[in-house]
Amino acid sequence: MSKKKEESKNSTPAIVPLEALILNFQNSRYPLVHLATRWAKVLRNKQENQYLKPNEILETALQDVLSDKVNAKTIEKGLQDLREARANPPEAATETKEKEKTKTKDKEEKETAGAKKKK
């Protein structure tokens, strides 16, 4: 009996397939879908998930919600952070936008100056 206890302590938690989690879910599935799609929005905007396909992000979101890795409070916090990030872009992003604007203005000025010289 001690060997079984040692094995269970040393083993990592088993990864349950997504299909099994969905089929064994006892509550209504509609709120689950709502939570999973909201969590997928948060995951999509994270840096480490930028190269994942949309279906992979959705599967990860479903896995997280079904296995109770995230709850409604965590999802709301993630969405709130996302809204704040969109409302207040980082300084680096605004600086690059300003640089691009000045570059386009410089190009326009050069083009108009070149057009005046040709006349």
Q: Give residue 110's domain range.
A: 91-119
Q: Are residues 78 and 101 in the same domain?
A: no
**119's tokens:** 């006349």
pLDDT digits (tens, 9 = 90+) for 74-105: 999 998 988 888 888 766 555 666 666 676 76
CA 80 from chain centre, in angstroms, equals 13
Length of the chain: 119
Query: For 6-17, what is each residue's pLDDT tens digit?
Result: 444 544 455 667
Instruction: State the Cα–Cα distance between residues 86 and 83, nearest whole angstrom.
Output: 5
Q: What's the CA gap between 34 and 76, in Å, rounded?
A: 12
65 and 19 in one domain? yes
pTM of the entire structure?
Answer: 0.57
Return mean pLDDT, the chain.
75
> Is residue 39 located within the same domain as residue 61?
yes
pLDDT digits (tens, 9 = 90+) for 12-41: 455 667 666 666 666 776 788 888 889 999
Tokens 């079984």: give the residue.
4
